[in-house]
């Protein structure tokens, strides 16, 4: 085992990738791509002051995609032995032979491949012993209990650390990869008793453990959120403004990404077909893709196919500037890949001028949504209907917690109805987005 904690060095992963490509060519593949990866980590969880679970994970894998002209086959293995790697290549070849030709299948154009892959500061090992992790989790949970005597139960606090590295390569000259890390602290507690109980949680996640919020602050935030939900009740059915707090606002941006991604577009299963260059959101909205942010959760100099990534604008003043396309989906649409095989990279929604409290004040009367339930999204029509919980606002002030309601609308109208964006984005994911105020949605309650 290397000093980094990985069982295999980057050079060894490159050797495996090279051997796979060489053997595939010997067996008659016209093209091949492979991914070789390894990861490990640990999670320690505490509940009511006692150790609940200690989990260790260590895994590795090789994925092989073979092309015989326009026929494609894929196979994978977790065995790095020469015999297993060759069997995996043979399996992918066998699958390809029985697959119908697809004129859009194949590797990306060679000229689009990434040639330079500078360090993006994504790997920060955390030498965290399990006893230390348990103690951090206890401190986090205790901080939640300390918020109020009304917090008498817990679903636990957890501290986790994960590291991985990979090499991606193909038969037209690309080979690249890097190591990365993700560390986190979370806490979930229950306030109240008998028939009046409410659960809430909070967490933080970073590449570098030094950037994590303290266990005390995370536990305290979880406790405060649980306490605030006591006394929750339904409200009457109404149509009012809705404020999605920052963690949930990012899911709205995720819905946009899905609707303008290649798979949904070429299958004609999106309500935003043929929307490039058109107004799809409020003029207040500006979204950029920034794949090269140092330490970003969505950072990479290449996508899953080795295509170079680059800065670009996705939405400018509400007008859609770009789709999210892989090589295959781009060919299906008669376009060029955008370097998004595998999904979007760091998406930055430009901050508005207001903080969360100011957004609540601007809303005046309406609903703050802090939790969403279910998956009531129809991307063909844009219809949106989800269970929700949060807080009712009158005269710009929170009045009481709300539960057992449904919020409904249409994503097209919701996007166009964005009335304000907050400056309260959280730095714990690949989508940087503050709270979003929608001018009007239907609330189904009593």
- Residue 72: per-residue pLDDT: 97
Residue 1: pLDDT over 80: no
pLDDT tens for 43-72 read 999 999 999 999 999 999 999 999 999 999
Asked if 168 and 304 count as a contact pair (C-beta separation under 8 A), the reply is yes
How sure is the predictor about 224, in pLDDT bands with cuts at 50, 70 and 90?
A: very high
pLDDT tens for 168-220 read 999 999 999 999 999 999 999 999 988 889 999 999 999 999 999 999 999 99
Asked if 290 and 345 count as a contact pair (C-beta separation under 8 A), the reply is yes
pLDDT tens for 356-375 read 999 999 999 999 999 999 88
Residues composing the chain: 446
**How many other C-beta atoms lie within 10 A of the C-beta of residue 238?**
16
What is the DSSP secondary-structure string of 257-310? HHHTBHHHHHTT--TTTT-TTSB-S-TT--EEE-TT-TT-TT--SB-TTSBBP-
Ranges of each domain in the chain: 10-228, 231-446
Tell me the two tokens of residue 9: 């060095």
Task: Residue 175: name the closest of 188, 184, 166 by CA.
Answer: 166
pTM of the model: 0.93
Residue 117: pLDDT over 90: no
Alpha carbons 128 and 149: distance in angstroms, whole number:
32
pLDDT tens for 246-304 read 999 999 999 999 999 999 999 999 999 999 999 999 999 999 999 999 999 999 999 99
- Residue 4: per-residue pLDDT: 67
- Residue 2: per-residue pLDDT: 41
Tell me the two tokens of residue 173: 């000259």
- Residue 172: per-residue pLDDT: 96
Tell me the two tokens of residue 19: 């051997």
Domain 10-228 is found in CATH 3.30.2290.10: yes
Alpha carbons 29 and 9: distance in angstroms, whole number:
28
């Amino acid at each position: 085992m290397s000093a980094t904690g990985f069982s295999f060095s980057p050079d060894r992963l490159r050797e495996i990738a090279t051997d796979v490509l060489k053997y595939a060519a010997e067996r008659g593949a016209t093209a091949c791509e492979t991914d070789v990866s390894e990861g490990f980590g640990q999670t320690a969880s505490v509940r009511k002051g006692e150790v609940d679970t200690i989990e260790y994970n260590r895994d590795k894998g090789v994925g092989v995609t073979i092309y015989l002209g326009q026929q494609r086959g894929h196979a994978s293995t977790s065995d790095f032995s020469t015999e297993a790697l060759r069997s995996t290549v043979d399996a992918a070849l066998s699958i390809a032979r029985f697959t119908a030709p697809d004129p859009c299948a194949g590797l990306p154009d060679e000229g689009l491949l990434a040639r330079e892959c500078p360090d993006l500061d994504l790997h920060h090992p955390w030498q965290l012993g399990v006893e230390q992790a348990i103690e951090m989790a206890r401190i986090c949970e205790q901080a939640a209990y300390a918020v109020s005597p009304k917090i008498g139960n817990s679903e636990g606090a957890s501290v986790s650390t994960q590291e991985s590295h990979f090499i991606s390569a193909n038969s037209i000259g690309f080979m690249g990869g890097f190591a990365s890390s993700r560390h986190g602290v979370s806490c979930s507690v229950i306030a109240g008793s008998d028939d009046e109980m409410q659960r809430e949680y909070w967490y933080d996640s970073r590449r570098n453990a030094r950037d994590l919020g303290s266990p005390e602050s995370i536990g305290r935030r979880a406790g405060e959120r649980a306490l605030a939900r006591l006394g929750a009740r339904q409200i009457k059915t109404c149509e009012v403004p809705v404020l999605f707090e920052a963690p949930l606002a990012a899911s709205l941006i995720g819905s946009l990404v899905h609707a303008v991604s290649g798979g949904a577009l070429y299958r004609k299963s999106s309500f935003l077909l043929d929307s490039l260059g058109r107004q799809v959101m409020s003029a207040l909205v500006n979204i950029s893709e920034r794949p090269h942010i140092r330490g970003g959760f969505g950072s990479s100099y290449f996508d899953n196919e080795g295509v170079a990534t680059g800065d670009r604008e996705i939405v400018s003043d509400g007008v859609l500037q770009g789709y999210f396309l892989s090589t295959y989906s781009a060919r299906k649409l008669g376009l060029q890949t955008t370097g998004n095989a595998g999904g979007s990279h760091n998406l930055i929604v430009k901050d508005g001028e207001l903080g969360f409290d100011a957004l609540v004040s601007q809303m005046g009367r309406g609903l703050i949504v802090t939790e969403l339930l279910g998956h009531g999204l129809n991307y063909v029509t844009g219809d949106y209907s989800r269970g929700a919980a949060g807080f009712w606002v009158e005269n710009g002030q929170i009045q009481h917690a709300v539960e057992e309601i449904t919020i409904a609308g249409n994503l097209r109208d919701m996007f166009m109805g964005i009335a304000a964006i907050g400056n309260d984005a959280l730095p714990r994911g690949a989508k940087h987005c503050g709270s979003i105020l929608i001018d009007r949605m239907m609330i189904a309650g009593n």
